A and B are shown apart, each in its own frame.
Chain A
Amino acid sequence: MSTEGERSPAPGQTTGTGRTGVGHDAPTGTPLSNDPTEILAFLELATPAAKLGYWQLDLATNALWWSSEVYRIHGLSPDDYTPDVDSAVDFYHPDDIASVRAMLARVIETSGRETFNLRLRLSNGETRHVRSAAMLRTDPDGGPGKVIGTFLETTYETLTSAVRTQLNALNDRVNLQPKERIEGLLEITRLIGDCETTAVWTNDDIDTPSFIVGAALGQDESVLLAEQVIGEGCKHQVRCQLYTRLQPHALNESQATLVDLILRKVGHDIVELRQSTELAAAREVLVLREQELAQIFATVPVPIWRKDKDNRITKVNPAAAQFMGDSVEAIESRNDTRRIPSTDYDYDQDDLDALTSRRPRLGVVERYIRPDGEPGWLRTDKTPCIDPESGETGLLVVAQDATAVMRTQREMEHQTRELIAANRNLDEFAYIASHDLRSPIRAISQLAHWIEEDNAETLTADSHKALSMLIRRANRMDQLLTDILTYARSGRDIDAVETVECQALVRQIVADLGISEGFTVSADATLPTLTTSRTALRHILQHLIANSIKHHDRDTGSVRVFATHTEESVIVHVADDGPGIEQQFQERIFRLLETLAPRDRVEGSGVGLAIARRLALALQGDISVTSNPGQRNTTFSLTLANSLLCDRSDVAEAV
């Protein structure tokens, strides 16, 4: 029997036992009257304040009476229900009915006092815990007497006690995984009654850092209390919602407090779970990376090795072992310092410098003796780094045979030098040609002039003619030298690129050429603006226009300069109405020193078109000719890349 039960005074109790109880708890010297009226007044005050109910069962009539608190605890009002022994037990939890009956029987049988706990099931489904103390009051007249009892709701205390016990038990379990802890905590919510909080692990693999705690619920049964709590702890990757299953009524205050307590713990554990999950994932990534690096180290066909702080080789990859002509195991076990043979370079001193200075030495190319014994070139990259095993500073060396690269480089340098020399020779030749070769020709011409001048009277007509021919040949030779020189120089120094308006350029060329009367040269509006070498383009067009006029067979004629486009090219045409060129000669005219007309009829060295084509090639273009001698229509076409066009919209319009 509990002491609480003893302290609960029953209505109408006037026995000494009651007095003793009250008197025992009362502060010393408190004058508490033995007057039953006073005691009743005290009870009237105390019972509603303590929410203490009381009841009475008349054993003679089997009538049951409840105080208003008992009604309240049952969730009933006196208007709804008049208690009786048979129907009252229906409010009890089925598991409690038998024990309550047994308890009551024992009270009657032994005339003793009993305290017992029972659970009420309210009509709204709520469960309430109640503690009741009961005692038998005998009838002085010899009747069956009455049983009186107290009725106190203990839901919160009961649940708290049960939850605490379980939480302590859970805390006592060591080595629990966060997931297991969460499951355990949710299990405890079932003790609270009226609620069942369930975690549904949508992904059972806790290594995956994304999971949802939840439950399939009816619409009215979910409570977002849990989501709030847990959400605080899981700001980032983890979104979790914890649903608490409820009976249709809301949790009462005491239950809600406990659920909140537990869910906070769940929230904490979920954060921990997330962290451990992330840690596990990160660890796994690290392991994979290390495996990957090891794989690269083992398979890369570049020799890589590590040296320790004392400049000794501690680790080599298979490529390095092959390079050093030994096995990985043999090299790593020997701890050699020297492995790169060289006659004139101290690789180990170099390594030591890098180790001491702790500064990388990259891209060092020096001589060494190749594994086949031949001299070669080696490129090394040395990076000081911390040895992951010893924690000491070491050196990572990456070596590559650079013999082929160096040879190519040497060859290229050699070829460049030769090319420069060849160009210089050409310059020298050009200079000699312009001075030394032309001087005697000029002298011949002048001497012939003087002979003619001094002996004008005495020379025969044949001699005059011979001298005249001599002078003309000498002049032709002079012109030929000039032209060859121009040809040799053409295509060089055309790197300077500028914006060239072709229409204006053609007009300028025509003005400079001094076209003879009777000839017209038209510069068409289709001519584009190009970004190219003005000098080269000017020479090409000048040669083409001059060529058209020079080889014209009539006193009057016209030359038309215009442009067309294809998808890739812009084509500048120079079309004339001259006699034309027979099909079989059309390619021949571009050759150096080729002429179709006898030199004495049309003065020309046959260099102009050759220069024009050479310049066109230098501009990444070409020149072609189409001619139909019968139609008096000959067109020279300079094809250039579209990319030279300043305004690409020309292409869109024309194509």
Chain B
Amino acid sequence: MPQNDDPLRLLLIEDDEVDVLAIRRALVKLDARCELLVADDGLTALEMMRGTKSQARIQGPYVVLLDWKLPRMHGGEFLRELRADPRLRSTIVFVMSTSDAAEDRRLAYEYNAAGYMVKEGSKDAYTTAIDTLLKYCALIELPVHDHKRTSRRAG
């Protein structure tokens, strides 16, 4: 169970509306206390995470759900950029991809993905995955993202 009152924040990086909808439906079905933020590609996600380009910076803690095949900046490029950023490098990222290609998996884990899931066609696939993910996040302490989060916890 969450250790504070803040709902878990999920940053979903996904360009397919149906997939976004599938996750929203899964969260509803699970009745999860979770705030879903959506970026439709890697660049937008980075802007949100850094608070650049007139985007409001996301307040932590949050976990990233990353689709692999994305316009402008695909999953691998996003991870490389993320791990190169001292302020963002510790972010927990789960990859959700339609591809089971060995090369993609290798690359994802090389950039320290917390997990690599292959999207399945069955109707309850997302529900099971999101349920497991939320339970995992409840069990662990998330990385410290910035001073604000620390002060919030202190307050």
Q: Point out residues on A near B: beta carbons under 8 Å.
A: 431, 434-436, 438-439, 441-443, 445-447, 449-450, 453, 474-475, 478
Cβ of B145 within 8 Å of any chain A Cβ, yes or no, is: no
**B121 & A435 in contact (Cβ 8 Å cutoff):** no
Contact of A435 among B18, B22, B99 (CB under 8 A): B99
Which residue in chain A gives the minimum CB-CB distance to B126?
Answer: A446
**B101 & A434 in contact (Cβ 8 Å cutoff):** yes
A446/B99 contact (C-beta < 8 A), A436-B69, A474-B121, A475-B121 known: no
Which residue in chain B gives the minimum CB-CB distance to A436?
Answer: B69
How distant is A496 from chain B, measured CB to nearest CB, in Å?
15
Give bound CA distance, A5 to B16, whole Å.
150
Q: List 12 A-B contacts (CB under 8 A).
A: A431-B99, A431-B101, A434-B98, A434-B99, A435-B97, A436-B69, A439-B69, A439-B98, A441-B121, A446-B123, A450-B25, A453-B123
Give bound CA distance, A447 to B121, whole Å.
11
**B16 & A443 in contact (Cβ 8 Å cutoff):** yes
How distant is A296 from chain B, measured CB to nearest CB, in Å?
59
Cβ of B19 within 8 Å of any chain A Cβ, yes or no, is: yes
Give bound CA distance, A445 to B25, whole Å.
15
Cβ of B100 within 8 Å of any chain A Cβ, yes or no, is: yes
Which residue in chain B gives the minimum CB-CB distance to A474?
Answer: B121
Residues on B with beta carbons closer than 8 Å to the beta carbon of A474: 121
**B22 & A446 in contact (Cβ 8 Å cutoff):** yes
Cβ of B119 within 8 Å of any chain A Cβ, yes or no, is: yes
6 tightest Cβ-Cβ pairs between the two chains A and B: A443-B18, A449-B123, A442-B121, A435-B98, A435-B99, A435-B69
A445/B99 contact (C-beta < 8 A), A435-B69, A436-B69 known: no
Which residue in chain B gives the minimum CB-CB distance to A449?
Answer: B123
Q: Point out residues on B near A: beta carbons under 8 Å.
A: 16, 18-19, 21-22, 25, 68-69, 97-101, 119-121, 123
A438/B25 contact (C-beta < 8 A), A443-B18, A446-B123, A474-B121 known: no
**A438 & B98 in contact (Cβ 8 Å cutoff):** yes
Give bound CA distance, A111 to B13, whole Å.
161
Residues on B with beta carbons closer than 8 Å to the beta carbon of A445: 121, 123
Give bound CA distance, A453 to B25, whole Å.
11
**B98 & A442 in contact (Cβ 8 Å cutoff):** yes
Residues on A with beta carbons closer than 8 Å to the beta carbon of B120: 442
Number of A-B contacts (CB under 8 A): 41
**B121 & A446 in contact (Cβ 8 Å cutoff):** yes
Residues on A with beta carbons closer than 8 Å to the beta carbon of B19: 443
Give bound CA distance, A475 to B120, whole Å.
11
Residues on A with beta carbons closer than 8 Å to the beta carbon of B97: 435
How distant is A440 from chain B, measured CB to nearest CB, in Å?
8
Give bound CA distance, A447 to B21, whole Å.
9
Which residue in chain B gives the minimum CB-CB distance to A453?
Answer: B123
Give bound CA distance, A435 to B15, whole Å.
13
Give bound CA distance, A478 to B101, whole Å.
16
Give bound CA distance, A503 to B121, whole Å.
36
How distant is A455 from chain B, measured CB to nearest CB, in Å?
14
Residues on B with beta carbons closer than 8 Å to the beta carbon of A442: 18, 98, 119-121
How distant is A178 from chain B, measured CB to nearest CB, in Å?
88
Give bound CA distance, A431 to B99, whole Å.
8
Give me 15 other A-B pairs in contact (C-beta within 8 A), A431-B99, A450-B25, A474-B121 excluded.
A434-B98, A435-B97, A435-B98, A438-B98, A441-B121, A442-B18, A443-B16, A443-B19, A445-B123, A446-B18, A446-B121, A446-B123, A447-B18, A450-B21, A450-B123
How distant is A472 from chain B, measured CB to nearest CB, in Å?
11
Residues on A with beta carbons closer than 8 Å to the beta carbon of B25: 450
Residues on A with beta carbons closer than 8 Å to the beta carbon of B16: 439, 443
Give bound CA distance, A478 to B118, whole Å.
14
Residues on B with beta carbons closer than 8 Å to the beta carbon of A450: 21, 25, 123
Give bound CA distance, A254 to B119, whole Å.
123
How distant is A141 from chain B, measured CB to nearest CB, in Å?
153
Give bound CA distance, A436 to B68, whole Å.
11
How distant is B47 from chain A, measured CB to nearest CB, in Å?
25
Give bound CA distance, A446 to B19, whole Å.
9
Give bound CA distance, A447 to B19, whole Å.
10
Give bound CA distance, A439 to B121, whole Å.
9
Give bound CA distance, A436 to B69, whole Å.
8
Give bound CA distance, A474 to B122, whole Å.
11
How distant is B122 from chain A, measured CB to nearest CB, in Å?
8
Give bound CA distance, A453 to B21, whole Å.
14
Which residue in chain A gives the minimum CB-CB distance to B103?
Answer: A431
Residues on B with beta carbons closer than 8 Å to the beta carbon of A443: 16, 18-19
How distant is B31 from chain A, measured CB to nearest CB, in Å?
16
Give bound CA distance, A478 to B19, whole Å.
17
Residues on B with beta carbons closer than 8 Å to the beta carbon of A449: 123
Residues on A with beta carbons closer than 8 Å to the beta carbon of B69: 435-436, 439
Most chain A CB within a 10 A radius of its CB, from B18, B19, B21, B101:
B18
How distant is B126 from chain A, measured CB to nearest CB, in Å?
8
Residues on A with beta carbons closer than 8 Å to the beta carbon of B18: 442-443, 446-447
How distant is B145 from chain A, measured CB to nearest CB, in Å?
31
How distant is B50 from chain A, measured CB to nearest CB, in Å?
28
Which residue in chain B gives the minimum CB-CB distance to A442?
Answer: B121
How distant is B28 from chain A, measured CB to nearest CB, in Å?
11
Which residue in chain B gives the minimum CB-CB distance to A475?
Answer: B121
Give bound CA distance, A159 to B22, whole Å.
136
How distant is B118 from chain A, measured CB to nearest CB, in Å?
10
Give bound CA distance, A434 to B104, whole Å.
12
Residues on B with beta carbons closer than 8 Å to the beta carbon of A438: 98, 121
**B121 & A478 in contact (Cβ 8 Å cutoff):** yes
Give bound CA distance, A428 to B148, whole Å.
45
Give bound CA distance, A405 to B36, whole Å.
66
Residues on A with beta carbons closer than 8 Å to the beta carbon of B22: 446
Residues on A with beta carbons closer than 8 Å to the beta carbon of B119: 442
Give bound CA distance, A89 to B31, whole Å.
162
Give bound CA distance, A441 to B16, whole Å.
12
Give bound CA distance, A443 to B97, whole Å.
13
Give bound CA distance, A305 to B123, whole Å.
83
**B121 & A434 in contact (Cβ 8 Å cutoff):** no
Residues on A with beta carbons closer than 8 Å to the beta carbon of B100: 434
Residues on B with beta carbons closer than 8 Å to the beta carbon of A475: 121
Give bound CA distance, A147 to B86, whole Å.
152
Most chain A CB within a 10 A radius of its CB, from B98, B100, B101, B121:
B121
Give bound CA distance, A442 to B120, whole Å.
8
Give bound CA distance, A442 to B69, whole Å.
15
Which residue in chain A gives the minimum CB-CB distance to B29?
Answer: A453
How distant is A480 from chain B, measured CB to nearest CB, in Å?
13
Give bound CA distance, A438 to B98, whole Å.
8
How distant is B91 from chain A, measured CB to nearest CB, in Å?
24
Give bound CA distance, A441 to B101, whole Å.
19
How distant is A99 from chain B, measured CB to nearest CB, in Å?
126
